[in-house]
Amino acid sequence: MRSIVYSRTGSSSVLSLEEREPGNPGPGEVRVKVTVSGVNPTDWKARAGSGAKSAFDEVVPNQDGAGVIDAVGEGVTGLAVGDRVWLYLTQHQRPTGTAQEYTVIPAERAVKLPEGIGFDIAASLGVPAMTAHRALTVHEFGPARLSRGSLDGRAVLIAGGAGAVGHAAIQLAAWAGANVIATISSDEKAALARAAGAHHIVNYRTEDAAKRIAEISPDGVDHIVEVSIAQNAALDGEVIANHGSIAYYADNGGEEATIPLRPTFAKNVRIQGLLLYTVGEAALSAAVEDITAALGDGALPVGEKAGLPLIWFPLEETAAAHDSVEHGAVGKVLIDVSGDNR
């Protein structure tokens, strides 16, 4: 099989296309014939490392993807050969990513797809959708799970509404019934956030964001999904509602944040950091179930008309795909592993 591999961290030049034998699934594992591999910022960052030798002799990059199960290990239940699945965190603490034709992974990392869901959608889930789910379920008064109507009457503010996590957060919040506000920096990104389902768009470069958000939601916003708390802490403190939650998942814009104390403690604000790799299996399982339910309702489409342009690369150009994400591509970068998806 064709595999993209690296044996030391560094620039995308450490990636090479090699022939490898497919592995066999052990107990509790499945082997998946990969059709599409998704690329996230964490993928190129893990590969870049510090120039040191990898923890494994050889690593296949990329955590997310989609494909068809072609072998099942001992003790696996609920999955069978021929099942179409979406994959998440396949490479976490393992060398078996999705930038290869077959990958062997723990069975819990492969999730059956509802009927009619394309592999492009499936490979765009994983890290972005699960991060968005967590960010929307840390409010003091819940909900701890997302479903139709679970956010009825809530106002949700999503910073960076045109990014992959922002896109998924818009879709999940709208599906759950929230009044969704997205902040963006350009007309192009405004169009994407609106296509994703945001009800209100605020351009923080051309408008007084705090004033505009207060006009939209006079009692404040209940949930904030934050990509840049270092830059937005003051705005968040101003517009958050009493007992609201600010969930931040990235350090865009700086490694330190200054939190406005009086606005946040006076309003009993919950400020929640989140990282999928350490969030725990219970939160991951909840996200898997709720995201799959949203998929079944048709709530998570992708493509430019749905607010998330798809940028395709063939497997042999995985290095270019990593570079595209590193350089801030607007949209979702996907690798067509099987050659049948573009």
pLDDT in tens, the chain (342 residues): 999 999 999 999 999 999 999 999 999 999 999 999 999 999 999 999 865 566 789 999 999 999 999 999 999 999 999 999 999 999 888 999 999 999 999 999 999 999 999 999 999 999 999 999 999 999 999 999 999 999 999 999 999 888 899 999 999 999 999 999 999 999 999 999 999 999 999 999 999 999 999 999 999 999 999 999 999 999 999 999 999 999 999 988 888 999 999 999 999 999 999 999 999 999 999 999 999 999 999 999 999 999 999 999 999 999 999 999 999 999 999 999 998 876
Per the CB < 8 A criterion, the answer to whether 325 and 44 are in contact is: yes
Ramachandran quadrant class, 14 (left: phi over 0; alpha: psi -120 to 50; beta: rest) = alpha
CA 279 to chain centre: 14
Q: For residue 99, which of 110, 111, 109, 87 has the smallest C-alpha distance?
A: 87
Q: How far apart are CA 335 and CA 330, in angstroms?
A: 16
Q: How far apart are CA 64 and CA 109, in angstroms?
A: 9
- CB proximity list for 42: less than 8 A, separation 6 or greater: 63, 127
Q: Where are the beta strands (DSSP E) in 26-74?
A: 29-39, 64-72
The tokens for 33 are 């014939």
Q: For residue 105, which of 121, 91, 126 has the smallest C-alpha distance?
A: 91
Strand pairing category for 16-19 and 29-39: unpaired
Q: For residue 310, which of 292, 337, 335, 284 has the smallest C-alpha distance?
A: 335
Residue 105 DSSP one-character state: E
Helix or strand or coil: residue 162?
Answer: coil
Per the CB < 8 A criterion, the answer to whether 327 and 321 are in contact is: no
Per the CB < 8 A criterion, the answer to whether 3 and 60 are in contact is: yes
Phi, psi of 16 (to 5 degrees): -140, 155
- pTM (predicted TM-score): 0.96
Angstrom CA distances, 322 to 42, 177, 242, stand at 10, 35, 41
End-to-end Cα, the chain, rounded Å: 20
**pLDDT of the residue at 105:** 97
The tokens for 5 are 């591999």
Per the CB < 8 A criterion, the answer to whether 30 and 107 are in contact is: yes
The shares of helix, strand and coil residues in the chain, as percent rounded to the nearest 5, are 30, 30, 40
**pLDDT of the residue at 90:** 96
Residue showing tokens 């599906």: 175
Q: How far apart are CA 174 and CA 212, in angstroms?
A: 20
Q: For residue 311, which of 293, 291, 335, 290 has the smallest C-alpha distance?
A: 335
Burial class (CB in 10 A: 0-12, 13-18, 19+), 223: buried
The answer to whether the bond into 106 is cis (omega within 30° of 0) is no
